[in-house]
């Protein structure tokens, strides 16, 4: 998959020119529902890779409102997923590793705690453990993202109505010997640890959780299949029963892990899976007409770039090809590059421009007034 040649590129561009962009048509400017799709560790080069390596329509092309965010934490130029997740969920900056707290460790209310008081149902989906930094930012308050047993306990007693991801070990094999499955059940959760089911199976439950692997979910290249899009759509069905308003955060967690591994095949397969999820969510939002969809990332990982393949001429000089791609990485960590934001639905035009990652929260709140008593 590493090499990409010029001829199929032309074919792909011709194909992508046929993408049918559906403009959002409605008088309402107030979204009833908000879906936030986060692709962890995804900068513009990762997204660009979809245009060269995906063999079907790239769903990023369906957005008309696009912006950029700065992502620094309260202390560092380069953020981690905890600081960035907290920026999205609370509108506040914190240090790398902090979740749902300010820099001085004070707890700060997150969007789900606000919205649930107004009858908004809330869900989270991730391809990591459900206790990992990004999803945890939407329900937990801890001074260190590594406290995943503590985070699991906080999830069990949170306002979350639906979750799907990995992380069984943080609920079952605990230092405090608590069995959090029992805590979850006593809080109204139906819990499934074998596989995703259907809406008919879960619709009578007050809440629903799927814990489907010990820690992170399998990689796409190891056969995860369509878990992310299926879990996201099932979450929409469950939360939106009887037309109830909802907030859903769904994360393609492992684009970041592929970036840390500097593994192009891993990265591109995870990115394509995320793009497929974008497509299914936009299909729903087009039908629904009252749902704001925001797609963004917490930071870039790997310093990924769609460089040309190096070649050596007869006289020993090294050149970079302009006809054959050979993606490269510049770091095993995160980077500080600006991150794209894509928005669709009522209020999407508010996400145009260049702003800070904390403004994602402030813009959602401005549109929904979920913070008002």
**Residues interacting with Mg ion, by CB under 5 A?**
40, 81, 134, 253
Half-sphere exposure of 28 (CA within 13 A, CB side): 13
Report the residue number, 88 or 342, with the smaller CB distance to Mg ion.
Answer: 88
- The listed partner (Zn ion, Mg ion, none) that binds 149, CB under 5 to 8 Å by sort, is none
Report the residue number, 115 or 136, with the smaller CB distance to Mg ion.
Answer: 136
- The listed partner (Zn ion, Mg ion, none) that binds 309, CB under 5 to 8 Å by sort, is none
- The listed partner (Mg ion, Zn ion, none) that binds 46, CB under 5 to 8 Å by sort, is none
**How far, in Å, are 179, 183, 192, 359 from residue 156 at the CA level?**
11, 6, 14, 29
The closest of 17, 43, 32 to 271, measured between CA atoms, is: 43
Considering only the C-alpha atoms of the chain, give the largest distance between any 2 of them, rounded to a whole number of Å: 74
The closest of 90, 33, 38 to 296, measured between CA atoms, is: 38
Find the shortest distance in angstroms from Cβ 271 to Zn ion: 15
- Report the residue from 92, 251, 256, 298 that binds Zn ion according to the rule CB under 5 A: 256
Q: Which residue is nearest to Mg ion (CB)?
A: 134
**How far, in Å, are 108, 117, 243 from residue 183 at the CA level?**
24, 22, 28
- The listed partner (Zn ion, Mg ion, none) that binds 154, CB under 5 to 8 Å by sort, is none
Find the shortest distance in angstroms from Cβ 85 to Mg ion: 7
Find the shortest distance in angstroms from Cβ 86 to Zn ion: 15
Within 299-338, which residues bind Zn ion (CB under 5 A)?
301
Report the residue number, 149 or 297, with the smaller CB distance to Zn ion.
Answer: 297
- The listed partner (Zn ion, Mg ion, none) that binds 96, CB under 5 to 8 Å by sort, is none
d(CA 73, CA 85): 10
Find the shortest distance in angstroms from Cβ 137 to Mg ion: 9
Find the shortest distance in angstroms from Cβ 257 to Zn ion: 7
Q: Which residue is nearest to Zn ion (CB)?
A: 256
- The listed partner (Mg ion, Zn ion, none) that binds 134, CB under 5 to 8 Å by sort, is Mg ion
Report the residue number, 92 or 270, with the smaller CB distance to Mg ion.
Answer: 270
Residue 199's CB is within 10 A of a number of other CB atoms, namely 13
Find the shortest distance in angstroms from Cβ 75 to Zn ion: 17
- The listed partner (Zn ion, Mg ion, none) that binds 73, CB under 5 to 8 Å by sort, is none
Find the shortest distance in angstroms from Cβ 315 to Mg ion: 47
| Residues of this chain that bind Zn ion (CB under 5 A) | 256, 301
């Amino acid at each position: 998959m590493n090499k990409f040649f010029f001829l199929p590129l032309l074919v792909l561009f011709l194909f992508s020119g046929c993408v049918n962009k559906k403009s959002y048509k409605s008088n309402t400017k107030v979204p009833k529902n908000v879906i936030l799709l986060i692709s962890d560790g995804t900068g513009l080069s990762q997204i660009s890779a979809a245009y060269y390596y995906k063999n079907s329509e790239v769903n990023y092309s369906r957005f008309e409102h696009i912006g950029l965010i700065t992502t620094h934490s309260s202390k560092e130029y380069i953020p981690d997923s905890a600081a960035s997740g907290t920026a999205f969920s609370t509108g506040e900056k914190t240090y790398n590793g902090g979740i749902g707290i300010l820099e001085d460790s004070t707890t700060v209310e997150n969007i789900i705690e606000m919205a649930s008081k107004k009858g908004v149902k809330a869900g989270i989906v991730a391809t990591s453990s459900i206790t990992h930094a990004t999803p945890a930012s939407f329900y937990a308050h801890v001074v260190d993202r590594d406290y995943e047993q503590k985070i699991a306990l906080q999830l069990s007693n949170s306002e979350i109505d639906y979750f799907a991801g990995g992380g069984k070990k943080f609920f079952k094999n605990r230092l405090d010997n608590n069995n959090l499955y029992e805590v979850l059940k006593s809080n109204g959760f139906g819990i499934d640890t074998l596989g995703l089911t259907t809406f008919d199976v879960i619709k009578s439950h007050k809440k629903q959780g799927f814990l489907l692997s010990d820690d992170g979910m399998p990689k796409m290249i190891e056969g995860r299949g369509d878990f992310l899009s299926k879990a996201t759509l099932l979450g929409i069905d469950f939360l939106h029963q009887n037309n109830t308003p909802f907030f859903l955060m769904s994360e393609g967690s492992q684009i970041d892990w592929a970036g840390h591994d500097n593994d192009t095949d891993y990265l591109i397969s995870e990115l394509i899976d995320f793009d497929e999820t974008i497509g299914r969510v936009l299909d729903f939002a087009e039908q629904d007409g009252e749902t704001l969809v925001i797609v963004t990332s917490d930071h870039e990982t790997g310093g990924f770039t769609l460089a040309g393949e190096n070649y050596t001429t007869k006289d020993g000089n090294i050149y970079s090809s302009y006809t054959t791609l050979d993606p490269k990485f510049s770091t095993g960590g995160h980077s500080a590059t600006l991150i794209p934001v894509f928005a669709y639905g009522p209020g999407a035009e508010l996400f145009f421009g260049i702003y800070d990652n904390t403004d994602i929260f402030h813009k959602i709140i401005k549109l929904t007034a979920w913070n008002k008593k």
